[in-house]
Structure 1
């Protein structure tokens, strides 16, 4: 008996809507909690780990439900849990989860996500395998894997729609409210799907050639072929965003390609001819191993190369996975193993690597594991391919070892924590030896060994921060700095000044104190507050700063919570009436000066732009600063008058904690 067409539509609607909700809630919640944890890329990695863990739990629940309960009891249990999950709505995170100091943010993020979205996300995660199970039962064993491809297609649509259609047009709270309403609709649709799925006598599932219980060899291969692409996805994403270029939305491209391979392999099996993708997968792994060793590879070449390599490697793994899919009666177990592999891959890269690897070594290690997996699966098919794939595996291992040795040999000191990898790199310049604090591809500050008082990086004597400080020629100045770097600004301090640094990364503080001399040679007293600058200021009484410098941007990775209207209001509460707020807005890809000007104007502030062009000093960088003040007369001081330019009034919507639009300010 064939399934009524309306029920097929109901299954498709339920799977599509649940997938849209699963993947749209990820950026919504990440955006809501980023201001609480410093706005780093590591927050997104923890979120991915949580969501994959919940996906695993949902798939495990679906497998147990489908295996041990009758269709009627499945419908009763699932619809009851869906009803109870409505009590967890809305999904807005509770402010009690905000960090209160410098404690490890990992457990707080996981606890916050579990409390905010745990129950709804768990049940949505079970939708795809459960609905496919009900479909197969009603259809008497018809293959339901096209619904899996549809689920991935909807996930892909949600990811692409968020930065282009959703984020620019609504606040995070409006997005959370809309998500809540759609979840209620989805809960109703799923309950209806469950009850209609068992309303007639279940047809026996037809036997197929693969209907017997899958052997352990197949199960382990399911696990491995899903874990490796997941690990490679996160490793490539980390490498591109940290070591290649911190470009807005770059993190989205690897995830889009990863999902696209699932869609192609499970919906269009003719498109993934296995010999072709085996060859391309091996070639991609060899290319990735080579690219990992190229320190000076241009960005325009590196990004396409790593993305193409990721796509080809994932196509190989997912094609192998699709070729090994079992009969429909085992599909919930199949999906359970896929989600287990995905969770293990994200656990290895997102959680274990930062704790046990002191460099970004997860990418070369993942490449090597993929190469050996390909060799294992394809060995003894032809002497030529055996030799070729053995060569790729050996090259991947050699490349991994070379990458690690190169990292070890290029730094005087290095370390890794939740916020990333830091290195103190020596270099030779025309003015003698120098040290630079490097975070991936980002320079956090430099110092000449033989000229330790010379200012560098974005703090040259012509920079906005230096000129603002020169214009405030007062006794006993109080200076606040969000973002320590190597402490270059301390070189401008006078003995009667008081400096207060805010730094979220304890490794930065350690290296600034032990490897560089700006703090040690500072003539003024200073203190360093460990933790997110904004969160620390919220806990403190007014500091009455003469100058507050905000320079906590990790290269081109923008913690937007430091640019919002609420953030500027907080800065003003700590600034003297005749004080200056200096915002560092240098960025290759975003025009941030209009954002700061627009937000400042809503608060009645006057603004000026100071652009410091490039000069011949190799350790000095060009920079853009926006200075804001309540009193416009401050900008007519001789130190500022010649270089400070009035900004054109921006017509953009002011950024708030609830709203920002990166697309609007792309260069």
Structure 2
């Protein structure tokens, strides 16, 4: 038993350590989009499905000793893939089809090692059940989920803050080599336990019934629903609450905890308790979607609701688990359901839906499956009551989904984000058009009068970037750069003879800025647009000689860390004139980016000045904002007197600058 436990623990730990590690490796190549994580989960779930399919085939068709031989050979072959690393050549094609590119780079980097890790849990359980007749192998599944949760929780706390990505890769590769040795030893032990007369494929005992197709369908549906709700609620947390790694890990840890509790001992799934909590969980999510809540309460309520959903789905799965003879089929259906849920949220929904309809769909599926699993044991009046309740909840979810798009003149969604455009009337100076991502304003424009041409929100004349532009030489044409377009507000500063070069990764943003806002069309300046990740595009271009380069490429409050590293800053500074200014927008509800800016400026011998603007009730069109202006010390000394109120940023003692191999969002949490 200890050898089986060690192998299962190592495989599960490595399986879930590689997920955030490789996602962090490739995140900069895709603009730091939150969809990278969702697409990675789709890949990992699909690999898990392939692994379970392989184990089921192995268990059903090959004799025990041949199973050990084939698996040992594949383990040795997988060592050729070490050390794991993403191929940088994928950066060249990343923008053309980001979803397929993410899947491709993951397959090339970790495909075979991840596949073999994913096979270990069910394969070790099958070998254990064969070696120890009458023993229950399902506790090994609980052990694997415990190791998975420890891996997830330890990565942002113990690994990411202290090791660069290259060091993480080497440590993981060493751990994988140790796993291969342990798994090989288990295969050898299993080989020796099989007598020659048993060297045939296992036949089905006559008293063990085969699972029906209805059983398989229900297993897959329960697993799929839990997967949909995991990914949909994770998206809600990371986009609308706080886009930090902890909130990637928290939902997945709760999801795994439900597996641990349900599979370790069925008594942990107290059916009456969790079924009674289910309506409260539905009501809590409805409250969040309808009204919102303060951030701490929102995180707590979403986490509690997700845990209830997962306990019900996984608890009902465990109540229906088959004889150990069919455990490979059982796990195959679980992985099929998980993969289908991941593909629905990560691949189908962004292409098919203009808004995040996958969450209401997942909630309805959870309610529907609850009715299905209870149906047989209920009397007629209870059945009628449940059908009426299900119909009423379906109507309510339909109304919630309708509210996602009502009141907006445009809703658009793709790999990078969901964008919505609305029209509002807030009094003088009249109607305005607003672009939002999640709950974050990405620019607005008044529709009539002189206000139509006046920069506003985070880019008004009193903001740090507005003041920086007015501090530039006005006697000659200026060349301005802009990473992140939004509604195109900064184009309002353009004069005849000026050039404004804009870098935008999301083609939908560019389309909406041209079709529903007129900043670009109205600007007297020459407008140049470059479609692609701003940093990657600037790395490929010759020096641009910008008088000012404005960096505002964040989605909601999400921070693409690759835009703020020392290497990225070096690229930006290369494109500035000797007296040019780099303006970085760091307004954020959850993260304090001042230490990042200060450390980068100090490293490159520059001065960083913070211009924090508080909202003025007399000028509601001008929002509170924090801009950091980075320039040479000589340029800072030559700023006009009206710019002398900038706060110099000094590096925080002990703060480690962010690089392409190291960044730590925990160190900048507010």
Question: Normalising by the residue count of structure 1, what TM-score does the alignment of the two structures yield?
Answer: 0.95
When structure 1 is superposed on structure 2, of 388-397 and 547-556 the one drifting more is: 388-397
Q: How many residues align?
A: 659
> Counterpart of 1:449?
447
Q: Deviations over 1:260-299 (max 9, x none)?
A: 110110013212122222222243234434543x144443
Does 2:395 match 1:393? no
Q: Aligned equivalents of 2:67 and 2:552: distance in 1? A: 55
Shift of residue 182 of structure 1?
A: 0.5
Does 2:18 match 1:17? no
When structure 1 is superposed on structure 2, of 153-162 and 282-291 the one drifting more is: 282-291
Does 2:227 match 1:230? yes
Contact persistence 1:583–1:627 (CA under 8 A):
yes
Does 2:61 match 1:68? yes
Does 2:464 match 1:472? no
Contact persistence 1:609–1:627 (CA under 8 A):
yes
Coordinate RMSD, CA, aligned: 1.9
Contact persistence 2:204–2:325 (CA under 8 A):
no
DSSP 3-state at the match of 1:98: helix
Shift of residue 304 of structure 1?
A: 2.3
Does 2:666 match 1:663? yes
> Counterpart of 2:282?
285
Shift of residue 240 of structure 1?
A: 2.4
DSSP 3-state at the match of 2:444: strand
Q: Deviations over 1:82-120 (max 9, x none)?
A: 111111111111111113474121111111000000000
Q: Deviations over 1:311-343 (max 9, x none)?
A: 111111100000111111111111111000000
Does 2:131 match 1:143? no
Contact persistence 2:65–2:194 (CA under 8 A):
no
Residue pairs, 1:165-184, within 5 angstroms:
165-184=158-177
When structure 1 is superposed on structure 2, of 449-458 and 154-163 the one drifting more is: 449-458
Shift of residue 518 of structure 1?
A: 1.1
When structure 1 is superposed on structure 2, of 425-434 and 74-83 the one drifting more is: 425-434
Q: Aligned equivalents of 1:426 and 1:393: distance in 2? A: 36
> Counterpart of 1:5?
none
Q: Deviations over 1:524-557 (max 9, x none)?
A: 0111111100111111111111111111112321
Q: Deviations over 1:592-630 (max 9, x none)?
A: 011111012111111111111112244432111111112
Contact persistence 1:55–1:339 (CA under 8 A):
yes
Structure 1: 5+ residue stretches without partners: 1-7
When structure 1 is superposed on structure 2, of 450-459 and 383-392 the one drifting more is: 383-392
Contact persistence 1:414–1:424 (CA under 8 A):
yes
Shift of residue 591 of structure 1?
A: 1.2
Q: Aligned equivalents of 1:164 and 1:581: distance in 2? A: 32
> Counterpart of 2:373?
377
Contact persistence 2:438–2:556 (CA under 8 A):
no
Residue pairs, 1:64-143, within 5 angstroms:
64-100=57-93, 102-143=95-136
> Counterpart of 1:211?
208
DSSP 3-state at the match of 2:502: strand
Contact persistence 2:580–2:631 (CA under 8 A):
yes
DSSP 3-state at the match of 1:558: coil
Shift of residue 147 of structure 1?
A: 0.4
| Selected match of 2:314 from 318, 337, 346 | 318
> Counterpart of 2:262?
265
Structure 2: 5+ residue stretches without partners: none
Q: Aligned equivalents of 1:131 and 1:308: distance in 2? A: 32
DSSP 3-state at the match of 1:423: strand
Shift of residue 210 of structure 1?
A: 7.9
Shift of residue 300 of structure 1?
A: 3.6
DSSP 3-state at the match of 2:239: helix
Shift of residue 46 of structure 1?
A: 0.5
DSSP 3-state at the match of 2:167: helix
Contact persistence 2:587–2:627 (CA under 8 A):
yes
> Counterpart of 2:182?
189
When structure 1 is superposed on structure 2, of 98-107 and 359-368 the one drifting more is: 98-107
When structure 1 is superposed on structure 2, of 446-455 and 68-77 the one drifting more is: 446-455
Contact persistence 1:142–1:328 (CA under 8 A):
no
Shift of residue 373 of structure 1?
A: 1.2
Q: Aligned equivalents of 2:431 and 2:293: distance in 1? A: 25
Contact persistence 1:140–1:206 (CA under 8 A):
no
> Counterpart of 1:598?
599
Q: Structure 1 residues 30, 19: closer, same or farther in 2, change over 3 A? A: same
> Counterpart of 1:417?
414
> Counterpart of 1:648?
650
Q: Structure 1 residues 419, 94: closer, same or farther in 2, change over 3 A? A: same
Q: Structure 1 residues 384, 605: closer, same or farther in 2, change over 3 A? A: farther
When structure 1 is superposed on structure 2, of 210-219 and 530-539 the one drifting more is: 210-219
> Counterpart of 1:47?
40
Q: Aligned equivalents of 1:218 and 1:63: distance in 2? A: 17
Contact persistence 1:234–1:346 (CA under 8 A):
yes
Q: Aligned equivalents of 1:526 and 1:493: distance in 2? A: 9
> Counterpart of 1:559?
560
Contact persistence 1:290–1:399 (CA under 8 A):
no
Contact persistence 2:292–2:298 (CA under 8 A):
no
Q: Aligned equivalents of 1:160 and 1:56: distance in 2? A: 24
> Counterpart of 2:342?
346
Shift of residue 45 of structure 1?
A: 0.6
Contact persistence 2:29–2:94 (CA under 8 A):
no
When structure 1 is superposed on structure 2, of 136-145 and 249-258 the one drifting more is: 249-258
Q: Aligned equivalents of 1:99 and 1:410: distance in 2? A: 39
Contact persistence 1:285–1:392 (CA under 8 A):
no
Does 2:369 match 1:368? no
Q: Deviations over 1:164-192 (max 9, x none)?
A: 11100110110011001110110111011
Question: Normalising by the residue count of structure 2, what TM-score does the alignment of the two structures yield?
Answer: 0.95
Q: Structure 1 residues 615, 635: closer, same or farther in 2, change over 3 A? A: farther
Contact persistence 2:243–2:559 (CA under 8 A):
no
Q: Structure 1 residues 149, 569: closer, same or farther in 2, change over 3 A? A: same
Q: Aligned equivalents of 1:244 and 1:399: distance in 2? A: 24
Q: Aligned equivalents of 1:290 and 1:600: distance in 2? A: 44
Q: Aligned equivalents of 2:74 and 2:204: distance in 1? A: 32
Q: Aligned equivalents of 1:210 and 1:615: distance in 2? A: 78
Q: Aligned equivalents of 1:189 and 1:323: distance in 2? A: 32
When structure 1 is superposed on structure 2, of 115-124 and 571-580 the one drifting more is: 571-580
> Counterpart of 1:504?
505
Q: Aligned equivalents of 1:563 and 1:330: distance in 2? A: 51
Q: Structure 1 residues 611, 25: closer, same or farther in 2, change over 3 A? A: same
Q: Aligned equivalents of 2:207 and 2:186: distance in 1? A: 28
Shift of residue 254 of structure 1?
A: 1.3
Q: Aligned equivalents of 2:622 and 2:394: distance in 1? A: 38
Shift of residue 388 of structure 1?
A: 5.0
Shift of residue 387 of structure 1?
A: 5.0
Q: Aligned equivalents of 1:26 and 1:609: distance in 2? A: 36
